[in-house]
Amino acid sequence: MKFIDEATIKVYAGDGGNGVATFRREKYEPMGGPSGGDGGRGGSIIVEADRNINTLVDYRYTRSFRAQRGENGRSAECYGAKGEDMVLRVPVGTVVSDKSSGQMLVDLSQDGQRALMAKGGNGGLGNVHFKSSMNRAPRQCTKGEPGEELELYLELKVLADVGLLGLPNAGKSTFIRSVSAAKPKVADYPFTTLHPNLGVVRVDAERSFVIADIPGIIEGAADGAGLGHQFLRHLQRTSLLLHLVDIAPFDEEVDPIREAKAIVEELRKYDEALYHKPRWLVLNKIDMLADAEEVVKKFIRNYDWKGQVFSISAISGIGCKELTYAIMQHIDENRAAEKLATEEQKTVAQNDSTRA
């Protein structure tokens, strides 16, 4: 299935049914009075996150969605049937925005989460509502209200704990194959990864994390070079970035330091928040170096890097286990801090409600 991570659609909630003006004409009640029922409410448009869906491909080619209209009212004070709601199922991690204003409407980050996008119109009133002591035979009725219309922009941001960042052929796909059961394509030419891949890294029987591999970005991505920035959105939900650098390029004219700085600069151009996200430096392909320790020290010194550094070989597995344990520890600490912050917020809210 083709991976689609963005789509623009138009949604139309159903119109309300019309009310009717009728009168009872039964055998023994020839002048029975008004009996027109109300129209039914139109169906609404609802979006729902579904973990069994991985792509927005269903919304790439079908761009218009219309909910059912409410039925008109009937005689004998019978109300029209309500229009059926239309539920649009999207992958978990989909962000829905108003296309015209750019305002985010909902972030569907949990399986089964639902949100109302367009509300169906109310049904019109039948003439039974207009009877009074002064108007015993009303002929007034109202039409149903139109349903809401909206143009929506759907953007999928995959849910992962860790994101891989680096140039094409830095070894990202090889690394995710080494530490998880994911099997992305690996080849000896650039841009073998054309869409994000997710892998579950299981550290032990009870602990695991999700790692995302996106297509490599190159210098000039902000201007559309390579695949541009179109897949960097998938790193925005991660709590940690791994910047993989090919420490042993085949081309001697390639400077790993300059290329590493260029990738970080592209990250900054795309999103300042993503640029300031915790980032570890992972120097790959150390098995290709005879004096790996000295080359690594020289790289760190010239790159002027102060953060976490790991030296690995993704293809042979050297250093990968130590790296995954360190990642798991980092994620556990983050989760514990988030849980503590949530509990503190609940305590503050309870105290405020008690005072009120």
- DSSP secondary structure, 105-163, as one string: EEEE-STT-EEEEEPPPPPPPPGGGG--SS-SS-----PPPPPPEEEEEEEE----SEE
Q: Which residue in this structure is represented by tokens 């590493």? A: 260
d(Cα 71, Cα 20) in Å, to the nearest integer?
11
238: its two tokens: 């991660």
Tokens coding 20: 């009717």
Are 163 and 197 in contact by the 8 Å Cβ rule? The answer is no
pTM of this structure: 0.71
List the single range of 20-34, 185-199, 308-322 with lowest mean pLDDT.
185-199
The residue ranking higher by pLDDT, 4 or 296, is 296
Given a contact cutoff of 8 angstroms between Cβ atoms, the answer to whether 179 and 211 are in contact is yes
- Averaged pLDDT, 21-45: 87
Q: What is the pLDDT of residue 181?
A: 77
Nearest to 150, CA basis, from 272, 24, 11: 11
Overall residue count recorded for the chain in this entry: 356
Q: Does the pLDDT value for residue 246 go beyond 50?
A: yes
How many other CB atoms are found less than 10 A from the CB of residue 294?
Answer: 10
Is the predicted pLDDT of residue 189 greater than 50, yes or no? no
Strands 94-98 and 104-108, how do they pair? antiparallel
CB pairs under 8 A, 24+ apart, for 334-338?
Answer: 334/239
pLDDT tens digits, one per residue of 318-340? 999 999 999 999 999 888 888 88
- At residue 1 the predicted structure's pLDDT band, cuts being 50, 70 and 90, is very low
For residue 164, list its beta bridge partners. 213, 242
Q: What percent of the chain has pLDDT over 70?
A: 90
In tens, the pLDDT along 106-161 reads 999 889 999 999 999 999 999 999 998 888 889 999 999 999 999 999 988 877 88
Superfamily of domain 6-156: GTP1/OBG domain (2.70.210.12)
Angle (CA) 197-202-206 rounded to 5° is 135
Name the DSSP letter for residue 34.
Answer: B
Write the class of the CATH domain 162-340.
alpha beta
pLDDT value at residue 200: 84
Q: Is the pLDDT of residue 263 over 50?
A: yes
Separation between Cα atoms, residue 6 and residue 155, nearest integer Å = 4
Inter-residue contact 207 to 248 (CB < 8 Å): no
Computed on alpha carbons and rounded to an integer, the radius of gyration of the chain in Å comes to 30
Q: What are the structural domain ranges in the chain?
A: 6-156, 162-340
d(CA 1, CA 335): 34
Give me the torsion for CA of 26, 30, 36, 37, rounded to 10°.
Answer: -30
* Contacts of residue 130, Cβ cutoff 8 Å, sequence gap at least 6: 34, 138, 140, 141
When the pLDDT of each residue in the chain is averaged and rounded to a whole number, the result is: 85
Average of per-residue pLDDT across 43-64? 89
Identify the residue whose tokens are 């102060």: 306
Mean pLDDT in residue range 69-98 = 92
CB 310 within 8 A of CB 323: yes
Lowest mean pLDDT among 94-108, 114-128, 211-225: 211-225
Conformation bin of residue 351: beta by default, left when phi > 0, alpha when psi is -120 to 50 = alpha
Query: What confidence score (pLDDT) does residue 356 get?
Result: 63
Helix ranges (H only) for the chain are 58-61, 172-179, 256-270, 272-275, 292-303, 320-355
